[in-house]
């Protein structure tokens, strides 16, 4: 009986304390009864844990956990709570230089797969390959980590180590210990395939991609390019404004993309290009995602390019990062984007105009353009289409 009374008074104390706190917050925020009751449940739980858990607790960690759990409950792999270390890493995520292992990753159906490995990177030196699945990072299974957080945990300061448990088809799972290095990310490479057809590969969209693409175009035009192939295979996306900068150089006048939020508010990015200069073929595959799909969708809807390859990944959402008060942040999906014909490709992807499967595993690091690409059937189809358009 005495024990029952003790728990009653403990619960009552937690409730009263929470109620006073909630009453003040509700007054300031003008919350309705339903929301106030839910907020009361949260604060009651926090007070109860803080005051009566068997060991002392860190109040800040309780709040971090509450925020992290709240975001995870959304079921959106691209919305995550960023504790200070992750927040500082993501700030350099699109700058073009960061500490990492030099691999591109894809996230789908709860899994994490290596899409491509950069040349001379820690990943390549350790023997990682495109198609490898990452099962755990530093002993933590990826199933327990938000997908976007996996990449942030793999990144870190140069000369520090990270352990990856790798699954490779037909082999036993193996742990690789990699030493991070500074990854300087060049995102555009170009060359002439013959005396009239150019080739441009964009590996991702960072802050400098628009300017890199402009330089590549100028270089090919100086070599009398008459048409070009834009390779977006295994491009995971990136900065939307950089993608728009590229689109404004090759998408004809009109809307490029519309970004629409939940309340219906819309931001439209436009091109002022009077007309396209050259016939274009875009190469895509199942790992072409996000802003690479945005660019391909704009070119397809405006009949400015022929899309060749396989259906793309299907990520048509936009995220923003909100700084918080402890050097942490919140990365949240806030909108979806739509192509010029008002298509949402989120969860759907872009269907190519000409479907053709790849005939070999692809490692689309930028260095590969120096290799012989004559056996690439998707590229060969693109060349055939460009030649037909030039006749």
Residues serving a catalytic function are: 290, 315, 319
* Residue found by looking up tokens 């339903």 in the block: 34
Q: Sign (positive/negative) of CA torsion 165, 169, 172, 176?
A: negative
Backbone angles phi, psi at 19, to 5 degrees: -60, -40
Provide the token pair at 90.
């993501």
Distance CA 65, CA 70 (A): 8
Distance CA 286, CA 28 (A): 49
Strand, coil or helix: 384: helix
Strand, coil or helix: 7: helix
Distance CA 319, CA 331 (A): 6
CB distance 247 to 302 below 8 Å: no
Residues 248-266 as b/e (b if ≥16 CB within 10 A, e otherwise) read: bebbbeebbbbbbeeeeee
Strand, coil or helix: 189: strand
Burial of 8 (0-12, 13-18, 19+ CB in 10 A): exposed
Strand, coil or helix: 298: helix
CB distance 225 to 280 below 8 Å: no
Give alpha helix (H) positions in the chain. Answer: 2-29, 33-52, 59-72, 84-91, 122-126, 147-154, 209-222, 240-250, 291-301, 377-390
Look at strands 306-309 and 280-284 and give their pairing.
Answer: parallel
Query: How many secondary structure helices (H) and strands (E) does the chain include?
Result: 10, 19
Distance CA 283, CA 72 (A): 34
DSSP state letters, 58-94 = -HHHHHHHHHHHHHHTT--TT-EEE-HHHHHHHHTTT
Stated length of the chain: 391
Provide the token pair at 12.
């009552």
């Amino acid at each position: 009986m005495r024990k029952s009374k003790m728990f009653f008074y403990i619960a009552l104390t937690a409730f009263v304390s929470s109620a006073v706190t909630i009453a003040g917050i509700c007054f300031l925020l003008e919350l309705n009864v339903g929301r106030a009751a839910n907020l009361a449940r949260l604060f009651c739980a926090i007070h109860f844990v803080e005051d009566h858990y068997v060991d002392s607790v860190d109040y800040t960690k309780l709040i971090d956990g509450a925020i992290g759990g709240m975001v995870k409950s959304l079921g959106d792999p691209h919305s995550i709570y960023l504790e200070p270390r992750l927040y500082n890493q993501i700030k350099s995520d699109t700058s073009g230089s960061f500490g990492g292992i030099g691999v591109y990753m894809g996230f789908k159906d709860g899994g994490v797969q290596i899409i491509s490995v950069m040349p001379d990177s820690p990943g390549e030196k350790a023997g990682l390959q495109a198609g490898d699945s990452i099962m755990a990072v530093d002993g933590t299974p990826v199933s327990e980590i938000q997908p976007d957080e996996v990449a942030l945990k793999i990144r870190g300061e140069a000369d520090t180590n990270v352990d990856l448990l790798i699954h490779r088809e037909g082999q036993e799972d193996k742990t690789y210990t990699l030493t991070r290095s500074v990854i300087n990310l060049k995102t555009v490479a170009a060359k002439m395939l013959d005396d009239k057809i150019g080739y441009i590969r964009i590996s991702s969209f960072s802050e400098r991609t628009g300017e890199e693409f402009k330089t590549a175009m100028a270089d090919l035009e100086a070599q009398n390019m008459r048409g070009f192939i834009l390779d977006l295979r295994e491009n995971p996306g990136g900065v939307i404004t950089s993608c728009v900068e590229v689109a404004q150089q090759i998408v004809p006048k009109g809307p490029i993309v519309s970004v629409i939020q939940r309340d219906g508010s819309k931001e439209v990015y436009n091109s002022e290009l009077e007309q396209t200069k050259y016939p274009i073929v875009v190469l895509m595959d199942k790992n072409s995602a996000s802003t690479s799909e945005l660019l391909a969708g704009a070119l397809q809807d405006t009949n400015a390019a022929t899309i060749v390859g396989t259906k793309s990944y299907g990520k048509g959402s936009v995220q923003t990062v909100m700084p918080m008060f402890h050097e942490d942040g919140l990365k949240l999906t806030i909108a979806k984007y739509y192509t010029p014909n008002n298509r949402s490709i989120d969860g759907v992807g872009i269907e190519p105009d000409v479907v053709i499967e790849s005939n070999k595993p692809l490692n689309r690091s930028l260095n590969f353009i120096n290799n012989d690409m004559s056996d690439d059937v998707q590229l060969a189809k693109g060349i055939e289409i460009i030649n037909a358009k030039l006749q």
